[in-house]
Amino acid sequence: MKNILLTAGLCALSFAGQAQINVGTSRSAQANSAGRFDDGDIDRLKKTTTYFVLQKKDQEHIADFEKVLGEMWKLTKYKIIGENEMYEYAKKGDCSFFSFGMIYREVQKSSMGSHNNNMGSHNSNMGPWKLFSTHISYDLWIPKINKKDKVVPDVVYSHIIMSQDAGAIWAAKQNYGYGFSAARDFEEKMNTYIYNEASFANWGAGYLKNYLMTIIPLLEKERRVGASHRMKIRPCWLA
């Protein structure tokens, strides 16, 4: 299995609309690591139908997205859906999603002033949790339904980091809130914001075409891509 160090650098103020791309399955979301491909991961993906989940505003350009996917996406069967349809398709199984998500980090301040990374459990003996960093991404993943009847990732194949504007950063801060229960509904609030309000400098049918030109060959050859080098991903002009 080959490792390839390849990425597209994140630059929110660039008119080129750069993006950081990671390819490689991982059981935990990481912004800078490609993870690994386990035996059978790609074969499992190829047996699914991939549902491309778009923002509400993308519906105005649905023909452009349909054209891009018709030209580019041959790895699986596919369909374009809305965010509110994801749960029903996940329950049916044999599906994968290309959808928006977040990679974020929380910190907790102790009475001594030190900070600890959130490793998945909150320590009630320490101070309240605070949002440290947030990246919004467009991810390829296979879902599962957890014990709380929520759709969560089982295998993540790729992250495309979005160039978020000041509005997205402010929304993350406001939606996280403060205090011991700050993160309780953070993901739900941000999910609503991402699909209905957020704007990204590096998103659209043309950008998606170029992302797929990078991602698809790597998936087909089971090659991984991490975030060690930078390159520009520019939008393809749609004829």
Q: Enter the pTM of the model.
A: 0.76
Neighbours of 83 (CB within 10 A): 18
Distance from the Cα of residue 100 to its chain's centroid: 5
233, part of any domain: no
In this predicted structure, the answer to whether residue 136 has a pLDDT above a threshold of 80 is yes
* Residue 216 and residue 73 in contact, taking contact as beta carbons nearer than 8 Å: yes
236, part of any domain: no
Tally of helices (H runs) and strands (E runs) in the chain: 6, 9
Neighbours of 158 (CB within 10 A): 26
Neighbours of 114 (CB within 10 A): 10
235, part of any domain: no
pLDDT in tens, 10-36: 333 333 445 678 887 654 445 455 556
101, part of any domain: yes
141, part of any domain: yes
pLDDT in tens, 210-234: 999 999 998 988 876 554 333 344 4
19, part of any domain: yes
Q: Which residue has the higher pLDDT, 189 or 54?
A: 54
94, part of any domain: yes
Cα 96 to Cα 76: distance, rounded to the nearest angstrom: 9
What DSSP designation does 109 have?
E
Instruction: Give the domain extent around 147.
Output: 8-225
2, part of any domain: no
What DSSP designation does 95 have?
E
What total number of domains does the chain contain?
A: 1
Cα 162 to Cα 31: distance, rounded to the nearest angstrom: 11
